[in-house]
Amino acid sequence: MNKTLTLFLNTSPYNYENSYTAMKIAEAALDRDIETHLVASADGVYNFLKGQKGSGLPHAADRFKELMDKGLKVDL
Amino acid sequence: MDNLLVILRKPPYGLVNAAEAVRHAGGASAFDYTSTLYLIDSGVLSAKKNQDAGDTGYTGVGDTLELLSDEMDIYASRSSLEEYGLTSEDLVEGVKIDDGQVLNNSLREAQTVMIY
Amino acid sequence: MLFLISSAPDTKEFQTAYKMAEDMNAEICLLQNAVYAATSSDNPGHYALRDDLDLRGIDKDNIRAKAIDYSQLVDLMTKTDKVVGFF
């Protein structure tokens, strides 16, 4: 059976380090062809808001979009 | 049957954690999951009785827990309750107190653990 | 069972999660601010995330946990029967 990894993200993008950790785990899993899902709940949904203009730390929406293009499946 | 453990470790108001924990645990229970809500650290404050949300717009978490306890197991950690000076008499109906054994078993048996 | 602990060692969250993991005989991987504990003798964890150690300037030769990268973490996460985190 193929492996599946599901990450759960419930914190906002710029007040915690969880978004970055989730991105890097998802990236490593996708690189190994593991089906990877991310479920965002509570303030975690803000990671996927359009028009973010953060700087000085990983850009949540852009980085997650790149991962979605690589196959990350996201549910809000 | 699917088995969900939701751990709440934050206080009931000021953060979205308690509302989301209750929403997920209650929602899963409504969909026939075996759902357990476990209160630890300041999460135990959510089970305190006489919470009065009034017209604040918040949903009273204590009342919600009392209602949910009819359809799912809700536990509060005894050591956390003691840290906050709470006893069983301070809690809403339906919330059970655990010395740690239930937590260990629930962690072992749950298919999914959600932490708020 | 694998616990992922991310809170700083001086927080309640860290202490609760660490105790819970020990009670369960679970493996512990430290990440984010929890990696500061990797140099301690009390709660050093079994694994610590290399990127988060590097980000904080923590010498990997000076920790008791095994430093691992994200790929190794994914290995651990997919091989264990259950992952509990982030705390």
Count of CB atoms within 10 A of residue A61's CB?
A: 17
Cβ(A74)–Cβ(A65) under 8 Å?
Answer: no
Which residues of C fall within a CB distance of 8 Å from A27?
70
**How many structural domains are present in chain C?**
1
Residue C15 has pLDDT above 90, yes or no: yes
Task: Give the confidence band of A53 by pLDDT, cuts at 50, 70, 90.
Answer: confident
Chains near A with 3+ CB pairs less than 8 A apart are: B, C
The CATH H-level superfamily of B3-115 is DsrEFH-like (3.40.1260.10)
Q: Which of B103, B82, B95 is nearest to B48 (CA)?
A: B95
CB contact under 8 A, C78 and A27: no
Q: Residue C21, Cα to own-chain centre: how many angstroms?
A: 11
CATH fold of A4-75: Hypothetical Protein Ychn; Chain: A, (3.40.1260)
The residue range of the domain holding C19 is: 2-84
β-pair type (C27-30, C2-5): parallel
* pLDDT in the model for residue B58: 82
Given an 8 Å threshold on Cβ–Cβ distance, is C74 in contact with A21? Answer: no
Report yes or no: A12 at the C interface, CB cutoff 8 Å.
no
End-to-end, the C-alpha distance of chain B in Å comes to: 23
pLDDT digit string, tens, across residues A25-34: 999 999 999 9
For B81-86, the CB contacts below 8 A with 24+ separation are: B81/B44, B84/B42, B84/B44, B84/B45, B86/B44, B86/B45, B86/B48
Look up residue A45 and give its two tokens. Answer: 């949904």
C86 pLDDT higher than 80: no
In sequence order, the β-bridge partners of residue B98 are: B77
pLDDT at A67: 98
| A8·B16 Cβ contact <8 A | no
CATH of the domain at C41: 3.40.1260.10
Show me where the domains of chain A are located: 4-75
Q: With a CB-CB cutoff of 8 Å, which residues 7-66 of chain A face chain B?
A: 8, 10, 41-43
pLDDT tens for the 116 residues of chain B, in order: 689 999 999 999 888 899 999 999 999 988 888 999 999 999 999 999 999 888 888 888 999 999 999 999 999 999 999 999 999 999 999 999 999 999 999 999 999 999 99
pLDDT at residue B1 in the model: 65
Confidence (pLDDT) at A1: 60
